[in-house]
Amino acid sequence: MRRHHPWVFSGAIGSVEPAFTEAGWAEAVTESGAFIAYGWYDEKSHIILRLISWDRKQSPGDDMVRSLVRGAVERRKSFFSLPDTTAFRLIHGEADFIPGLAVDAYGRELRAIVSSRFADKNLGVIAEELDALLHPDVIEAVTDKQFAGLEGLAERIRHFRGGKETREDESRSSVRFIERGIWYEAAPGKGQKSGFYCDQRDSRSIAEEYAAGRTVLDLFSYTGGFTLHLLRGGALSVDAVDSSESALRHLLYQIHLNEDKKVLPPGSREKVTITAANAFEHIRQAEEGKYDMMILDPPKLAKTKSSLGNAMKAYKDLNRVAMMKIRNGGIIATFSCSGAMTREDFRMMLAWAAADAGAEIQILRTLSAGEDHPVRLSFPESEYLKGYIIRVIR
């Protein structure tokens, strides 16, 4: 706690004085009464106390929340003037001292992902401050399905206009935005997380550098963030595989959108095939030696530390099969977005996979989320996204 890690579980608390009748602000002190930090105490949360400020002079309350929001937005000021990107993260949860809340900007819209009772309770104040700072057309807040059960939160979508919660017109149109010059479109209230993955912005651009003249398998492609970059980078063909048929259809739509905008060359659509399938099973059936580049970007497989063992096996199996199937000298961009898996765990997994595949691996690039997803050193869990560009030599 003194080193500023924000999570405190019930076993670390000696006493609560006076007893809480409902969730609210709390002061954490040592047994001798010395101040440690201010935090949010909620017995219904799976993290009973979330520490927020170690500054005793900063009184807890709405003003503190507003100050934290202003600080997060101020730290992203350089993103507002980018000429070719209008999508980026504004608030990155505990890394920005606002537990359980992520907010992404997509052009004139803001989309929030709520994964804690603290964020849910203070969402009105947060929306007011974001509106005062940025004047977005709308703020859409979605409860994170992965944490709804743990936190006892209802899965719902809330909307704010002018800083006030409103009933939203279900016919609201999709929002368009650009990332590194490529156009995307996200439908309101649909899709995974906030509808897009801003955290892979840098990795998509780096993967594009390796695409020229390659035959590519894009596993877990979702709506095609990597596929679009690979096409722009000159890939000969891309086979996109995802379990969601609707996501794959949207991928094709976005190819047409970028052809119309003259971002992608004519004929890009003809280079792409889509397959709705379980990616883990699909790669086992892949033709050996067909691909000389692969993208492995699976969903979070280790949601908690207790599930890390099984997740490591799944990651290893996926990468092992990829190393066996890819053409000799081929390139794999491989990722893990599991916060419970450290970068050291990930490299060890790759080493095991390579040994079982009878391959040597060269790490060409080390990948992580962009600077709008900062890693807070006192909260190592904020380094959730890890990746490598590797060359496979057999």
**Residue-range definition of the domain harbouring residue 263:** 197-393
Say what the pLDDT of residue 192 is: 52
- Say what percent of the chain tops pLDDT 90: 88
Same-domain pairing of 228 and 344: yes
Of the three residues 19, 37, 58, the one that is the final residue of a domain is 58
Interatomic CA distance for residues 90 and 75, integer angstroms: 9
- Statement to judge: residues 17 and 94 lie in one domain: no
Could you tell me if 42 and 72 lie in one domain?
A: no
Q: How confident is the model at residue 390 (pLDDT cuts 50, 70, 90)?
A: very high
Which pLDDT tens digit goes with each residue over 35-87? 999 999 999 999 999 999 999 999 999 999 999 999 999 999 999 999 999 99
Average pLDDT over residues 316-328: 97
Pick 306 or 15 by higher pLDDT: 15
Same domain? For 52 and 68 the reply is no
Structure tokens at 153: 């939160």
Domain shared by 147 and 241, yes or no: no
Per-residue pLDDT at 186: 87
What total number of domains does the chain contain? 3
Domain boundary among 58, 77, 93: 58
Exposure string for 252-268, b = 16+ CB within 10 A, e = fewer: bebbebbbeeebbeeeb
Print the SS3 string covering the chain: CCCCCCEECHHHCCCCCCCCCCCEEEEEECCCCCEEEEEEECCCCCCCEEEEECCCCCCCCHHHHHHHHHHHHHCCHHHHHCCCCCEEEEEEHHHHCCCCEEEEEECCEEEEEECCHHHHHCHHHHHHHHHHHHCCCEEEEEECHHHHHHHCCCCCEEEEECCEEECCCCCCCCEEEEECCEEEEECCCCCCCCCCCHHHHHHHHHHHCCCCCCEEEEECCCCCHHHHHHHHCCCCEEEEEECCHHHHHHHHHHHHHHHHCCCCCCCCHHHEEEEECCHHHHHHHCCCCCCCEEEECCCCCCCCHHHHHHHHHHHHHHHHHHHHHCCCCCEEEEEECCCCCCHHHHHHHHHHHHHHHCCEEEEEEEEECCCCCCCCCCCHHHCCCEEEEEEEEC
CA–CA distance, 390 with 392 (Å, rounded to integer): 6
Task: Name the pTM for this structure.
Answer: 0.91
Position 196, amino acid: F
Asked, for residue 180, whether it belongs to a domain, the answer is no
Whether 354 and 277 map to the same domain: the answer is yes
State the Rg of the chain over Cα. 22
252 has pLDDT over 70: yes
Do 151 and 137 share a structural domain?
yes
Whole-angstrom distance, CA of residue 340 vs CA of residue 300: 10
- pLDDT per position as a tens digit, 166-209: 987 666 778 999 999 999 998 766 555 556 899 999 999 999 99
Structural domain includes residue 173: no
Q: Which pLDDT value is given to residue 153?
A: 95
Predicted pLDDT at 110: 96
Task: Assess whether 345 and 235 both reside in one domain.
Answer: yes
| In a shared domain, residues 296 and 154 | no
CATH code at position 326? 3.40.50.150
pLDDT of residue 170: 61
What is the share, in percent, of the chain residues with pLDDT greater than 70?
Answer: 96
CATH of residue 140's domain is 3.30.750.80
Residue 7: strand pairing partners: 50
Q: Is the pLDDT of residue 259 over 90?
A: yes
Tokens of 137: 């057309």
In a domain, 181, yes or no: no
Residue 189 lies in a domain: no
- The verdict on 247 and 111 lying in the same domain is no
Helices 123-134, 62-74: inter-axial angle, 10-degree rounding: 40
Whether residues 228 and 273 share a domain: the answer is yes
Which of 172, 307, 298, 191 is CA-nearest to residue 250? 191
Q: Are residues 82 and 228 in the same domain?
A: no
Task: Assess if residue 326 is contained within a domain.
Answer: yes
Q: Residues 82-132: pLDDT tens digits? A: 999 999 999 999 999 999 999 999 999 999 999 999 999 999 999 999 999
Nearest to 256 by CA among 246, 267, 245, 248: 267
The reply to whether 171 falls in a domain is no
Structural domain contains residue 156? yes
Is residue 306 pLDDT above 80, yes or no?
Answer: no
- Of 122, 144, 166, the one marking the end of a domain is 166
Residue 100 lies in a domain: yes
Res 159 pLDDT > 90: yes
